[in-house]
Amino acid sequence: MMLDIDVIVVGAGPVGMVAALLAANEGLEVLLLEKSDNRHVQSRAIGITPPSLEILQHIGLTDLLLDKGISVRFVRIHDETRLLCSLDFSQLPDTFPFVLAIPQHRTETLLEEAIARVPSIHLLRGHTVEDVFIQGEQVEVYGGHSQGGRFHFICRCLLGCDGGRSITREALEIPFDGASDSQTFLMGDFEDNGTSGDDACFFLRHAGRWNHFPYPEGSAVMF
Ligand SMILES: Cc1cc2nc3c(=O)[nH]c(=O)nc-3n(C[C@H](O)[C@H](O)[C@H](O)COP(=O)(O)OP(=O)(O)OC[C@H]3O[C@@H](n4cnc5c(N)ncnc54)[C@H](O)[C@@H]3O)c2cc1C
């Protein structure tokens, strides 16, 4: 049992890792609990938007990410035969007027490497949170290890960053007003031999819609 840690973050996805880094930046001691033993590597979020890049600048990560990703400044939308229109992000009044194309697993790798450099963040993988109780001024967190065994931690502040099916939200009876989208799509990372360079392209075809985003090192994500 770890007593009186400042902050427990449940979930070491991108949100949990950024939250842990921001809290540590404020001088807080952080325990980051993650149920999976390994990081996910599937194709997920394709890029980082300008406001997120500004937030990541506070924890010194933006330059690292810019180095690893592709700055997408144009989106081109085509129908069967012609270019319908282009969106020019470079006109945005932001510090970073582009979407940074970078696979989510690479972003997570950089975040986890940053966490490893911060002594006040303790990342524990294989720790599944199962219940959370607020007891006066403190929060009690109970769960199980992936190798068997139980844990019980107490903190002053808990951040539930455990994704769409959050056990934290459920335990604390916090309502979730979101709804499922009925659309289905296929997404994957492929080698790119095309000519669209660093632009994102949307193709609106009779057979269906497909989108193409550039990724670093000549690969592209399509869905
Ligand atoms: C196929 C696919 C495509 C996507 N494409 C895009 C996209 O193009 N653009 C975009 O913006 N987003 C996209 N997303 C969504 C994006 O992946 C999520 O928005 C993002 O992962 C949310 O981050 P998060 O940290 O909130 O949650 P998650 O990434 O879900 O992380 C939550 C973490 O909490 C851990 N956890 C869960 N329960 C517990 C528990 N009880 N105890 C301990 N740990 C726990 C999980 O293991 C996980 O590591 C896509 C997602 C998928 C699946």
Listed as ranges, residues in the chain with pLDDT below 70 are: 1-3
User: With respect to CATH, is domain 74-94+183-222 assigned 1.10.1370.20?
Assistant: no
Distance 34 CA to ligand 1 centre (A): 12
| Residue 170 confidence (pLDDT) | 94
44 lines ligand 1 (CB under 6 A): yes
User: CATH for 5-46+104-171?
Assistant: 3.50.50.60
Can you state the angle between helices 14-25 and 104-116, rounded to 10 degrees? 30
| Residue 43 confidence (pLDDT) | 85
| Residue 52 confidence (pLDDT) | 95
| Residue 194 confidence (pLDDT) | 74
| Residue 3 confidence (pLDDT) | 57
| Residue 157 confidence (pLDDT) | 96
Among protein residues, the one whose CA lies closest to atom 41 of ligand 1: 129
Residue to probe by mutation, ligand 1, list 33, 43, 162, most atoms within 8 Å of CB: 162
What is the total residue count of the chain? 223
| Residue 2 confidence (pLDDT) | 54
| Residue 174 confidence (pLDDT) | 92
Sign of CA dihedral 79, 82, 84, 90: positive
Residue 205: Cβ within 10 Å count: 10
Percent of residues in the chain assigned helix, strand, coil, to nearest 5:
25, 40, 40
User: Each residue of 104-134: pLDDT tens digit?
Assistant: 999 999 999 999 999 999 999 999 999 999 9
The full set of domain ranges for the chain reads 5-46+104-171, 74-94+183-222
Q: How many helices (H) and strands (E) does the chain have?
A: 5, 15
Return the H-helix or E-strand segment holding 116. helix 104-116
Rounded distance between C-alpha atoms, residue 158 and residue 161, angstroms:
9
| Residue 220 confidence (pLDDT) | 74
**Three-state SS at 103:** coil
36 lines ligand 1 (CB under 6 A): yes
